[in-house]
């Protein structure tokens, strides 16, 4: 895998899966723009990349904000001279309650970040990818975008939306040599699962609810993201790749 001369944007690159993907892109030669609402975490990812000799910048970005996304893409292009890869990865969970008890505010926030964020990242990256002669978009869905789970209504809906939005963009932009794929991680060891880890009753079940009987690491997901972004995946588009230890079939 070689991303020398390529520019990649990773949203949610301050932590977890996004940080692992950003470091992986940089190790393989890409210049990386890290987008996050957590500036300290985003800057830390930049420092980690620079410490291994890579090129990276941090751009404060709320993915639900159209103006932020447009500025992010312009900054990446102006700094590194083009855009080839965008990883629409930023996402949040929500209160684990029945849909009747989920507030409309929380519903809107989850849909805005997890689904509209992917729409905006695609909408404003595509013209730059076309200018570059093509590229790759990798969207982060979830195992919970492929099957329903109690108390996760907004998250389920947002991540299922990402799967079909990925197919939509693959169809619309394939003729420009832009491939659009999604990943569907299972339970991965990042900050987003802190609440589950602290649940003494549920964690022993959740942490083994797949064929491999363990949770995954951010690097295991970054491997899949890097593959989908690379030339090795040149005939793969519109796909959603499960990275879940067999969680979907469990
Ligand atoms: N960890 C898992 O088990 C798991 C499973 C399936 C899918 N995912 C998805 O993976 C993606 C990455 O999550 P993670 O597990 O690395 O969690 P994480 O909490 O470690 O990372 C998420 C990052 O996104 C950032 N972020 C949150 N809201 C944002 C916004 N509005 N704009 C920009 N950045 C924002 C956070 O600051 C954080 O750095 C998410 O889309 C998540 O839904 C995670």
Q: What are the pLDDT digits (tens) for 60-96?
A: 999 999 999 999 999 999 999 999 999 999 999 999 9
Helix (H) / strand (E) element for 58: namely strand 55-60
Check pocket membership of 62 for ligand 1, CB cut-off 6 A: yes
Q: Cα of 218 to ligand 1 centre, how many Å?
A: 11
Check pocket membership of 146 for ligand 1, CB cut-off 6 A: no
Catalytic: which of 60, 124, 151, 155? Answer: 155
**Nearest CA residue ID for atom 17, ligand 1:** 192
**Nearest CA residue ID for atom 32, ligand 1:** 62
What is the model's pLDDT at position 66? 98
What is the model's pLDDT at position 249? 94
Cα angle 193, 198, 202 (rounded to 5 degrees) comes to: 85
Phi, psi (deg, nearest 5) at residue 165: -60, -35
Compute the mean pLDDT over every residue in the chain, rounded to the nearest whole number.
97
Q: What is the pLDDT of residues 172-226, one digit of tens each?
A: 999 999 999 999 999 999 999 999 999 999 999 999 999 999 999 999 999 999 9
Phi, psi (deg, nearest 5) at residue 32: -125, 130
Residue 114 near residue 162, CB atoms below 8 Å: yes
What's the rounded Cα separation, in Å, for the pair 218 and 204?
20
DSSP assignment, residue 219? Answer: H
Check pocket membership of 56 for ligand 1, CB cut-off 6 A: no
Biggest CA–CA distance in the chain, Å, is 52
* Banded model confidence at residue 1, pLDDT cuts 50, 70, 90: confident
Catalytic status, residue 151: no
**Nearest CA residue ID for atom 42, ligand 1:** 91
Q: Cα of 139 to ligand 1 centre, how many Å?
A: 12
What's the rounded Cα separation, in Å, for the pair 111 and 209?
26
Q: Among 3, 21, 8, which Cα is nearest to 243's?
A: 21
Q: Cα of 91 to ligand 1 centre, how many Å?
A: 4
Pocket test for ligand 1, best of 69, 113, 190, 244 (most atoms within 8 A of CB): 190
């Amino acid at each position: 895998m070689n991303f020398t001369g390529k520019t990649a944007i990773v949203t949610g690159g301050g932590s977890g899966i996004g940080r692992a993907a950003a470091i992986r892109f940089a190790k393989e030669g890409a210049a990386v723009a890290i987008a996050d609402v957590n500036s300290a975490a985003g800057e830390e990812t930049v420092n980690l990349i620079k410490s291994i000799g890579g090129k990276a910048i941090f751009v404060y970005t709320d993915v639900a904000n159209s103006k932020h996304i447009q500025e992010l893409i312009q900054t990446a292009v102006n700094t590194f001279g083009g855009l080839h890869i965008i990883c629409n990865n930023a996402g949040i969970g929500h209160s684990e309650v029945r849909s009747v008890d989920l507030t409309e505010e929380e519903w809107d926030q989850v849909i805005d970040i997890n689904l509209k964020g992917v729409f905006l990242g695609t909408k404003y990256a595509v013209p730059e990818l076309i200018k570059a002669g093509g590229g790759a978009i990798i969207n982060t869905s979830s195992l919970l975008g492929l099957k329903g789970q109690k108390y996760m209504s907004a998250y389920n809906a947002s991540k299922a939306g990402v799967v079909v939005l990925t197919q939509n963009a693959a169809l619309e932009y394939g003729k420009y040599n832009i491939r659009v794929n999604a990943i569907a991680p299972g339970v991965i060891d990042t900050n987003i699962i802190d609440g589950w880890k602290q649940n003494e009753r549920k964690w022993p079940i959740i942490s083994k609810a797949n064929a491999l009987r363990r949770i995954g690491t951010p690097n295991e997901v970054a491997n899949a993201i890097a593959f989908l972004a690379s030339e090795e995946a040149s005939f793969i588009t519109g796909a959603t790749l499960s990275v879940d230890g067999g969680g979907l079939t469990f």
